[in-house]
Structure formats: structure tokens, C-alpha cells
Structure 1
């Protein structure tokens, strides 16, 4: 196989790997956004729980359902908010695991792309010297 066909093949491979890396980077960015959204929701819910904990047992609590405020039992409201916090925390752990895997894969692909770029450059440099 000639060096020019090897070079073309390497360049094609490099282009494919670079496209894969680009898609992966978009996935990482999307997951960071999801994680940020969940973190904000968790903070809001923790704040609501703190406020509910300050209330006396006979306090009136209302829940917004669509355009209507519906009276809710304080204990039920606290339980609902705790459940929501549990759910969001579990979702954050899941997202963290996915993000870690994606970032590891991204690092691996970056190294592969870098090595391919170096091979292409060295082939091009060798070809340039031969001419």
C-alpha cells in the first residue's frame, strides 16, 4: 500500500473519530445542563422543606394544582417534598455516573484523535521531504 493511500485512509479515520468526539462533547454538554437543572430543583425543594419545617402543625398549607390552590395537610406536604428530594438526589447520582462515563470516553477519544493527528502529520512531513 502506498504512503498516499495510507495517508488518505488515516485522514478519513481521523475525520470519523473527530466527528465521534464532537458528538460525544455535545452529549457531555447536554448532561451538564441536565445536572445543573436537577441541582437547582434540589436546592429549591430543600428550601421549601426548610420552610415547611418552620410551620406549626396547625398551619394552613396550599398546593398549586393548575390554576387552583388546594389545601393540603402539612405532614403530607412535607412527605411529598421529601420524596421529591429523594427522587432528585437519585437522578443526580444517575446523571453523575453517566457524566463520568461520558467524560472518560471523551478523554479516550481525544487521545485517539491526537495520536491520529500526529501520525498524519508525520506522514505528511515524510512525504514532503521525499518530494
Structure 2
């Protein structure tokens, strides 16, 4: 019986550790997106009405229409904002699952501790 409890504990602990790794990855991804969002907003704010804008296509810089460039950056900002919201929802859901997993691990840890005390 104690082997079953120990193996179950190890299994549930591994799940908890995976939740933690996923959380760290999501936090890192969110930080990257926040950085990109800030950079895009700054670049958009710095553009003046008479600015010349170039787009890198392969190894060549091609002159681009300013309005088109602003629209592209605006679309990129919208995409990044949507991704941040998606990640926040994912992180909130994962936090709930991780907390539930933590409770399971703690219960199993208590069961393992009591088994060893009674021996």
C-alpha cells in the first residue's frame, strides 16, 4: 500500500513541477510580448508625418508608404495585445490548476508522512 502511495505522490509531484515549468514559460513569453508592445508603441509615437520609412525585404531595404507602415505597426500592436490577453487567461487557468495540484501533493505528502510514522 505504501508503494502505491509513494508512486502516486511521485506522479502528482511531477505534474506539479510541470505546471511550474509551464508557468515560468508563460511568464517569460508575456514579458517578451510586453517588451515588443512597448517597442512598437514607442516607434509609432516617434514617427513624424514627413518621416521616410523603409521595410526590410530579404537583404534589401524598400521604401514604404508612411500610412501603410503605421497601419502595419497598428495591426502588430493589436496582435500583440490579443496574445497578451490570451496568455493572461491561460496563466489564470494554469494558476488554478497548479493550486489544485498543490493541494493534491500536500494531501499525498501527509499520507506518506503518516505511513512512515506508523511503521
* Larger Rg computed on CA atoms: 1
Which of 86, 106, 111 pairs up with 1:114?
A: 106
The alignment's C-alpha RMSD in Å is 1.2
Q: How many residues align?
A: 119
Structure 1, unpaired ranges of 5+:
1-5
Which whole-Å CA distance do the structure 1 matches of 2:69 and 2:16 have between them?
45
Q: What is the TM-score with the length of structure 1 in the denominator?
A: 0.85
Cα offset for 1:89?
0.2
Query: How does 1:88-107 map onto structure 2 within 5 Å?
Result: 88-107=80-99
Deviations 1:3-43 (A, max 9, x none): xxx22211111011011111221111111111111111111
The offset of 1:121, in angstroms, is: 0.7
Where in structure 2 are there 5+ consecutive unaligned residues?
Answer: none
The Cα of 1:99 is off from its aligned counterpart by: 1.0
Partner of 2:14, secondary structure, is helix
Runs of 4+ in 1 over 4 A off after TM superposition: none
Which of 8, 19, 38 is 1:43 aligned to?
38
SS of corresponding position for 1:63:
strand
Match of 1:19 among 11, 14, 19: 14
